[in-house]
Amino acid sequence: MKTKGGTQLFLLAVCPNSLVFSITIFSTPFYSRLSLLPTDPQPFTIPSSNNNRARQPNVSLTNYPLPDGTWRWVSKAWMIDMRTDLGGVQHDGFEYNWLFCKKHWHADSGKFGAGAWVRRRRWVRLMMRPAKRKFDSESD
């Protein structure tokens, strides 16, 4: 008998917010979805997909579909991804950058909001495909 299955940690998305004109309130940067431009990413994007807004699937934490009917969610809810390629995010899971791009995200927004115009937070959820049993035909 052979079994085939597996688990995968799936990184859904980035939740973008934009800071316009370095708006700060008492030295705290203020980010708002209302300041996003039409060319900025959708509120939830799949990082491995095309960065073009028109080519991103319309997904969210509540309506993300599994790859097919054989996969199941292991965790009950999405979790904030506290890991990054550079090793750190802010205490609330946000990363900051000058533009929405794949590289150069960092954990600090900078003094007076001078280190970042945009921010994102990545979400993860564990899914699995239960093992299928295959019976080998016995040869005589």
Specify if 138 maps to a domain.
no
Specify if 126 maps to a domain.
yes
Specify the DSSP class assigned to residue 127. E
- Work out how many domains the chain is built from and give that number: 1
pLDDT digits (tens, 9 = 90+) for 42-100: 677 776 655 555 566 677 788 888 888 888 888 888 888 887 666 677 777 888 777 67
pLDDT exceeds cutoff 60 at 1: no
**Which of 3, 4, 6 shows the shortest CA–CA distance to 127?**
6
Is 56 buried (19+), middle (13-18) or exposed (0-12) by CB count in 10 A? middle
Specify if 6 maps to a domain.
no
pLDDT digits (tens, 9 = 90+) for 109-124: 666 555 667 777 888 8
Give every CB contact of residue 42 below 8 A, 6+ residues apart in sequence: 16, 53, 56, 58
**Which of 8, 21, 2 shows the shortest CA–CA distance to 113?**
21
Tell me the residue range of the domain where 54 lies: 13-132
Specify if 37 maps to a domain.
yes
Specify if 23 maps to a domain.
yes
pLDDT digits (tens, 9 = 90+) for 15-45: 555 444 445 555 555 566 666 666 666 677 7
Specify if 120 maps to a domain.
yes
Rounded Cα distance between 74 and 126, Å, is 5
Specify if 1 maps to a domain.
no
Specify if 137 maps to a domain.
no
Strand partners, 77: none
